[in-house]
Amino acid sequence: MNSCIIRYILGYILKLEGAFLFLPCIVAVIYRETAGFSYLFVAVVCLVLGLFMTRKKPKNTVFYLKEGCVATALSWILMSVFGALPFCLTGEIPFFIDALFETVSGFTTTGSSILSDIEALSHCSLFWRSFTHWIGGMGILVFLLAIIPLSGGSHMNLMRAESPGPSVGKLVPKLRQTARLLYLIYVGMTIVQIILLLAGNMPLFDSLTITFGTAGTGGFAIKNDSMINYSPYLQWVTTVFMILFGVNFNAYYFLLFRRIGKALRMEEVRCYIIIIVAATAIIAVNTYNTALGAAGTIRHAAFQVASIITTTGYATTDFNLWPEASKTVLVFLMFIGACAGSTGGGVKVSRLVVLVKSIFRELRSYLHPNIVRKVKLDGKPVDSGTISAIHVYFFTLIILFALSLFAVSFDGHDFITNFTAVATTINNVGPGLGMVGPVENFGFFSPFSKIILTFDMLAGRLELFPLLLLFHPSIWRDMSTRRLKDSRKAEKKLAAH
Amino acid sequence: MFKPKTQEQHGLNIIIVGCGKVGATLVEQLIKEGHDITIIDKSPKKIQAITNTYDIMGLVGNGASYSVLMEAGIEDTDLIIAVTESDELNLLCCTVAKQATDCAAIARVRTPDYSREVGYLREKLGLALIINPELEAAREVARILYLPTALEVNSFAHGQAELIKFQIPKGNLLDGMSIAELGQSYTSGILVCAVERQDELFIPSGDFRLQAGDRMSFVAPRNAARPFLKYIGSKTQRVKDTLIIGGGKAAYYLASRLISAGISVKIIEQDAQRCEELSILLPKAVIINGDGTNEELLKEEGLQYVESFVPLTGIDEENILLTLYAKQVSKAKIITKINRITFKNVINGLDLGSVVYPRYITAEAIIAYVRAKKDSMHSNIETLYHMFDSRAEAIEFLVDKESAVTNIPLMDLPLKKDLLVSFINRNGDILIPSGQDCIKAGDTVMIVTTHTGFHDIQDILK
């Protein structure tokens, strides 16, 4: 295992985070808040540590899938730990476990909060909370790939570990160019949304934070009651953009290069739209309220459906009070999640499509035991390796879900609360039902449960395996014992050639 | 941060169809030059493997199909290179691509049936280049057999000049001689370009001292190499006969070349039907039907007595073993062809003598073309040759107009370090330059350098 390159990448991540932490400092200067000094302090610490770690460039820059996964998992953990420090230092979230939960919830674009009074936070903390969504949405390593020149083709492994979806492809031959294109689309859409929100008379600070939350499909609002008090126009804009950020970004690439036909032919995107429309219709009928009228009912239904399926987690109404059928639909949507290659979480529509299709294939194989039939996606056969990876992924998700549910149940809360709390964190959604409903928070859980849920959020964002890999004994062996001798030897050998 | 694409930054958009030995080598070499590469192959496994190793985009499908090419972005492509197994598919790929867009096309065509009509095909189909690795390999082997002391012989300036690599034996005249002394004692135009000692590579200056065991490359006009080798006491007559194992395409090309040069050829081939074909194609060669890896057969056919031995089977391991065996039992000049395997360090350690890598020969021809295409404002690359495992490059530039390098004596030019102007070809005369000579418009100039990625003659300046 090439631990030098992992150290190097972690160093870069710290430097990046240090740079990002200056943004809340600027906010603090504008609003004249003393909390800014905490951010400044952590930013400097990150930069110094990062510079120290990247001081020596590793000679051997080749890395394989396992290094990619380990580097990704460690980056996210490191980033979350340092991102949580300012909350502790300002005293706004005194306990580190709570601060970590909040930050991981930010970076993983979950949006579950342990804060009961969000509006009490300083502006710079609110900004940082929302900004973590924006970084975490597209992924920090993808950002890294876009800006630093790493030579060699093995860096695909970094992107593969971080980007959501069963099979990660490139848009253009060069990885760096691909990463840049993704961020270009991301930044472009973010700016459009900010402008549209500003046009609806939303204050600048609100539109920035709400947009960050939408773009990353995060869901941290800056008001205690989420988005309930914003105008219908603003709610519609947010609804549309939540849906847009949940679409596979490849579709935008095709649109950008005028291959509209190709974008429309993406099976995953079509299914995603169909699910949204169907769910909205069911909920609208189920929750029809004469006081709101048809327009209001549809607005609330569409907003909540978009918010949950894209795993954003904003709310315009307390859906905890909705009829059971509607709540059940929402829980289903939590698991379905957005499209692969978007900023959303969950199981992903493309996986669901493959899973459903493999059920039909299985049925057919009972009718005709010798039938040869491949599961197809976008008209192309999905190879059996990918299919079995999807099956294993789904099963692992269920196991992890069950174990977490069991661990959390020791707190003694009711089943619906526990069930939706785990579901909402593992799928990076945000709010659940019961005691963790859209206007409630996660503050009442025990520290142990919070750690479990924090882990679930990270596992969900990184699609389980990169994080689970950290617990494989052979990785530990590689990292600790053989590391010094072997890597030095290998480096010497390489240098000799 | 998000700058639009510019030429210098990104190089060319290249589509490679076929992910075999040559395809993979091309990817390896072209990615170093900074191009955007998309590779198309029918086998998902091969695509998976290569996209995991290199920063390129892979596409599974038939490269001759219009829709697959469209998906690969043929509209914005500058160059398509078709190197699949089949000649016909390669030609079809290029034809389809040429119809879709105005890109340059390179096809691999290696069947002897077509190779005689290369000029016609190239012109009629509008191809930029037709490459034939087997033929190129055969040419290189033949050049070495004409001059068996050499480890490698490469020709430049349309055969007017040669770059010859050989190893200085113990007790040779050159052992302990400095380059300046060599220049005084042997004056008629040769130039030592590069010397490899153990694992180090030198572009030698005047006070560099040669040692026994050094592998040195020197440039000489076509007829000057032989007298020089004779002067330092090496054998210079070409081989009289050769034994070839394996009767593939390369063997055919080589045999027909050698026969026309009056060297007697014996080919051992396992497949009876191929033997019959060869006996019709090469009536003057002795074709033997048998297993070339059979020790008894090799002895029976006189391996001990032949002057040269060329194993050209399709399996690299067999070729290497045959070479090692032949080294034990005979004094023949041996040339090993290695197609596929990549353990270059191990192969160098085996001390096989002359080794020919067809895939590198092909890649060099294509890279020369690509570099010339990328920057063809001031000069063109005529020939490119990678020396000593790509650690040095010999590049022949055509200087077609006046520039900062022309009409100034070489001694006054601010040249980069580790760089040597090896010869100047002026109207077919090969000039080994001294400090007073200068480059003129219309010359072709060969540069040997350890810098990589030169596109233009101007690159030699600091």
Q: What is the ipTM of this complex?
A: 0.74
Q: What's the CATH code of the domain at B174?
A: 3.30.70.1450
For the stretch B215-274, pLDDT in tens is: 888 888 877 888 888 888 777 788 888 999 988 888 999 999 899 988 999 999 999 999
- The torsion angles phi and psi of A469, rounded to 5 degrees, stand at -60, -30
Among partner residues B2, B37, B53, which is closest to A173 by beta-carbon distance?
B37
Q: Are residues B445 and B428 in the same domain?
A: yes
Number of domains comprising chain B: 4
Please spell the DSSP secondary structure of B393-453, one letter per residue.
EEEEEEE-S--TTBTSBGGGS-BPSSEEEEEEEETTEEE---TT-BB-TT-EEEEEES---
Q: Which domain holds residue A375?
A: 1-172+320-497
Distance from C-alpha of B399 to C-alpha of B445, rounded to nearest angstrom: 7
pLDDT at A377 over 60: yes
Kindly report, residue by residue over A411-424, the tens digit of the pLDDT: 888 999 999 999 99
Find which of A66, A174, A384 to mutate to test the B interface (most B CBs within 10 Å of its CB): A174
Q: Is A290 annotated as a binding residue?
A: no
Residue B21 and residue B89 in one domain? yes
pLDDT in tens, B35-57: 889 999 998 888 888 888 888 88
Span B285-319, pLDDT tens digits = 899 998 888 888 888 888 888 889 999 988 888 88
Confidence of residue B7 (pLDDT cuts 50, 70, 90): very low
Task: Say whether both B102 and B35 belong to one domain.
Answer: yes
Give the phi and the psi of residue B159 in degrees, each rounded to 5.
Answer: 85, 0
pLDDT digits (tens, 9 = 90+) for B378-436: 457 777 777 777 778 888 888 877 778 888 888 888 888 888 888 888 887 888 887 78
Q: Which residues contact B262 (CB under 8 A, 6 or more apart)?
A: none
> Would you say residue B19 lies in a domain?
yes
**What contacts B237, CB < 8 A, 6 or more positions away?**
none
Instruction: Kindly report the nearest CA distance between residue B197 and chain A, in angstroms.
Output: 14
In this structure, the number of other CB atoms found within 10 A of the CB of residue A149 comes to 6
Q: With beta carbons less than 8 A apart as the criterion, state whether B375 and B346 touch.
A: no
The whole-chain average pLDDT of chain A stands at: 86
Domain co-membership, B301 together with B223: no
Is B111 contained in some domain? yes
Amino acid A118: pLDDT: 85
Q: State the pTM of this model.
A: 0.80
In a domain, A11, yes or no: yes
Is A72 labeled as ligand-binding? no
Residues B348 and B373 in one domain: no
Interface test with chain A among B5, B29, B53, B57, by most A beta carbons within 10 Å? B57
Contact list in B for residue A170 (CB cut-off 8 A) is 57
Residue B176 located in a structural domain:
yes
On whether both B306 and B224 belong to a single domain, the answer is: no
Contact state of B1 with A146 under an 8 Å Cβ cutoff: yes
Please tell me which of the candidates A147, A153, A173 has its beta carbon nearest to residue B36. A173
Pairing of strands B241-245, B308-311: parallel
Range in A320-329, B373-382, B403-412 the model is least confident about: B373-382
Confidence of residue B3 (pLDDT cuts 50, 70, 90): very low
Please tell me the predicted confidence (pLDDT) of residue A283: 92
CB A450 within 8 A of CB A411: no
- In terms of pLDDT, which residue wins out, A15 or A474? A15
In this structure, of A10-14, A243-247, A368-372, the range with the lowest mean pLDDT score is: A368-372
Instruction: Provide the number of structural domains found in chain A.
Output: 1
Torsion sign over Cα A276, A277, A280, A283: negative
CA pair distance B47, B58, nearest whole angstrom: 6
> Does residue A386 sit within a domain?
yes
> Which chain A residues have any C-beta within 8 angstroms of a chain B C-beta?
146-147, 152-157, 169-170, 172-177, 180, 183-184, 187, 383, 496-497
Residue B222, class by beta-carbon neighbours within 10 Å (0-12 exposed, 13-18 middle, 19+ buried)?
Answer: middle
- Same domain membership, residue B366 and residue B350: no
- Does residue B390 or residue B338 have the better pLDDT? B338
Is B37 within the bounds of a domain? yes
Weakest mean pLDDT among A200-209, A476-485, B66-75 = A476-485
- Is residue B240 situated within a structural domain? no
pLDDT tens by residue, B54-75:
888 888 888 888 888 888 888 8
B279 and B317 both lie in a single domain = yes
Contact between A156 and B52 using a beta-carbon 8 Å cutoff: yes
Q: What is the mean pLDDT of residues A168-193?
A: 85
Residues B187 and B261 in one domain: no
Final residue belonging to a domain, choices B88, B110, B131: B131
Give pLDDT tens digits for A103-115.
Answer: 999 999 888 888 8
Position B443 scores a pLDDT of 84
Do B147 and B112 lie in one domain? The reply is: no
Helix locations, A337-472, DSSP H: 349-367, 384-408, 415-426, 447-461, 465-469
Q: Give B 41-80 residues with CB within 8 A of chain A.
A: 44, 51-57
- Which residues of B, range 253-272, sit inside 8 Å of A by Cβ? none
Q: Is the dihedral angle over the CA atoms B344, B345, B350, B356 positive or is it negative?
A: positive
Quote the pLDDT of residue A77: 92
- B241 domain residue, yes or no: no
B273 lies in which domain range?
Answer: 255-356
| B2–A184 CB contact, under 8 Å | yes
**Is B285 among the domain residues?**
yes
How many interchain CB pairs under 8 A, A with B? 45
Domain boundary among B356, B375, B409: B356
End residue of a domain, out of B231, B246, B269? B231
A218 is annotated as contributing to ligand binding: yes
Instruction: Please indicate, yes or no, if residue B275 is contained in any of the structural domains.
Output: yes
What average pLDDT does the structure give for chain B? 83
Please tell me the number of Cα atoms within 13 Å of A353 on its side-chain side. 24
In a domain, A134, yes or no: yes
Q: Domain of B53: which CATH number?
A: 3.40.50.720
Residue at A234 is within a domain: no
A109 annotated ligand-binding residue:
yes
Please, which residues have CB within 8 angstroms of residue B86's CB and are 6 or more apart in sequence? none
Question: Which residue bears the tokens 């899938």?
Answer: A65
pLDDT recorded at residue B378: 46
Whole-Å CA distances, A262 to A103, A253, A265, B279 = 38, 10, 5, 55
Is there a single domain that holds both residue B14 and residue B118?
A: yes
**A173–B55: do the CB atoms touch at under 8 Å?**
yes
> Is there a domain that residue A73 lies in?
yes
Nearest by CB to residue B38, choosing from A146, A153, A173, is A173
Q: Are B17 and B123 members of one domain?
A: yes
CB contact under 8 A, B44 and A383: yes
Does residue A475 surpass a pLDDT of 90?
no
